[in-house]
Chain A
Amino acid sequence: MKKIIATLVIALCVVGSAMAQDELSFERKQAIDSLALEKVRDLSKYIKIVGSKETPFSEANRVIDRAEELFMSDAEIGVSSLSSNKVTYYRVRKYFEHLMRLNYDRVEIEWYNIEYVSDLQRQPDGTYVGVITIFQTFRGYDAEGNLAYKDTTKKDITVYVKRKETQIGGRTIGFWDVLLGDMRVKETSNR
């Protein structure tokens, strides 16, 4: 009898634990929502640093490494222009290298209205997937300091959040791994 009760208690604990993992409380869900938004904001800062002509080459390369870590390995970033309807997609490193080589004397990149258009939803494999939209204003200036080009692009970024575990100092640490997927151009205007 005691064995049966012990088995039931263990089984309940295991099921309870599994349910705790499956059904996140509102507060925990909010925490990972914020974490994913923060990663996108971090990316905006990295784009700004790499795009800036004042950033030393070594710093820019270091930042590109960090920016790459934010993305899934096969992710692509779309680039558009007012002069063409075509959207070119680059792998993350190629995108940043392209950004470093832009033919302007000064570049300003601002991201704003960063928000979810599709909330993080749990997929059957346990990954949470959502879409965050951003607006990017790009300004390129010539040697005389005149505005040579300006556009505003709306982009959608797919976000993947997955629970993972790692060993640190003999402890198992459960963490939320946020990875950005493709960054798709939705519209480009001269605003």
Chain B
Amino acid sequence: MKSKITTVMMVLLAAFITLGGTTSCKSKKQLAKEAAEAEYKSRVAEAVKDLTAILDDETLWSLEEKEARVQTIKDWNLQNAEVDDLLLQVEKKLARERAQKEEELRVLEDRERLSAADIVLGRNFNTIANASSVSQANRAISETLAMFESPNVPVLIIIKQNAGFNDYDRPTTIENYLNYLKDQKKATEKIHEIKYNANGKINELELIKK
């Protein structure tokens, strides 16, 4: 009798454990699924919020930070129509911002290069004009000519700026202009504009009377 009771108890225990284990496993899967769904929803919401903020210029992020954020959202691979549409719009916007930034950078670099050439040319013009001998002036002329595409590069000299157009002196060449500085011993023009060829040599120079 005692043995029967023990056997029944063992069977009940086994059944309880088995049933209890099965129920617990199902609950964990459900929880995981719910958690994944919640995370997906949260990421979609986050993506929509960030992408909308980028579109509406309501973030303080730099262009690089915005680009990084877009890349993260793309990596989530949310496959959500709303997010995909926003991504398309934001990528177009960021491409425009990138192009604008690169253009600004190019202008800045050109300005810096012009400024550097301006300083060197201005210094060389003064060296030539104030040279103590013809040979010293000629050395400075050779050094300056090396910055130009050829000795025949045109030099335009603005004598007067008017509303919308310039009055020029007769155009000359860089070689003649540098010799002019040597002969006249004066540098009365300053650099107005410099144009370069693909090799970085000056191929047009515009000066203006001081």
Residues in B neighbouring A42, C-beta threshold 8 A: 180, 183-184
On whether the beta carbons of A27 and B156 are closer than 8 Å, the reply is: no
Shortest distance from the beta carbon of A56 to any chain B beta carbon, whole Å: 7
A66's partner among B134, B168, B180, B195 (CB-CB below 8 A) is B180
Shortest distance from the beta carbon of B169 to any chain A beta carbon, whole Å: 6
**Chain B residue at smallest Cβ distance from A48:** B183
- Range, interface on chain B: 20 to 34
A31's partner among B154, B160, B183 (CB-CB below 8 A) is B160
How many angstroms between the C-alpha atoms of A173 and B195 in the bound complex? Answer: 16
On whether the beta carbons of A66 and B183 are closer than 8 Å, the reply is: yes
Q: How does the 8 Å CB contact mask read for B141-181 relative to A, with 1 for contact and 0 for none?
A: 00000000000001010011010010111110000100110
Residues in A neighbouring B195, C-beta threshold 8 A: 169
Given A56-B134, A66-B176: A175 and B184 interface contact (C-beta under 8 Å): no
Shortest distance from the beta carbon of A9 to any chain B beta carbon, whole Å: 17
Shortest distance from the beta carbon of A159 to any chain B beta carbon, whole Å: 14
On whether the beta carbons of A168 and B156 are closer than 8 Å, the reply is: yes
How many angstroms between the C-alpha atoms of A178 and B169 in the bound complex? Answer: 8
Residues in A neighbouring B165, C-beta threshold 8 A: 174
How many angstroms between the C-alpha atoms of A77 and B70 in the bound complex? Answer: 79
How many angstroms between the C-alpha atoms of A56 and B137 in the bound complex? Answer: 14
B185 close to A (CB within 8 Å): yes
On whether the beta carbons of B167 and A31 are closer than 8 Å, the reply is: yes
Shortest distance from the beta carbon of A63 to any chain B beta carbon, whole Å: 6
Residues in A neighbouring B156, C-beta threshold 8 A: 168, 173, 175
On whether the beta carbons of A32 and B183 are closer than 8 Å, the reply is: no
CB contact list, A28-55 vs B, under 8 A: 28, 31-32, 34-35, 42, 45-46, 49, 55
**Chain B residue at smallest Cβ distance from A42:** B184
Residues in A neighbouring B176, C-beta threshold 8 A: 66
Given A27-B160, A31-B159, A56-B134: A175 and B180 interface contact (C-beta under 8 Å): no
B204 close to A (CB within 8 Å): yes
How many angstroms between the C-alpha atoms of A62 and B170 in the bound complex? Answer: 19
On whether the beta carbons of A45 and B184 are closer than 8 Å, the reply is: yes
* A binding-site residues for B, Cβ under 8 Å: 25, 27-28, 31-32, 34-35, 42, 45-46, 49, 55-56, 59, 62-63, 66, 164, 166, 168-169, 173-178
Q: A174-B165, A175-B156 are in contact. List 11 more A-B contacts (CB 8 A).
A: A25-B162, A27-B160, A32-B167, A35-B159, A42-B180, A45-B185, A55-B134, A169-B154, A173-B156, A174-B167, A175-B171
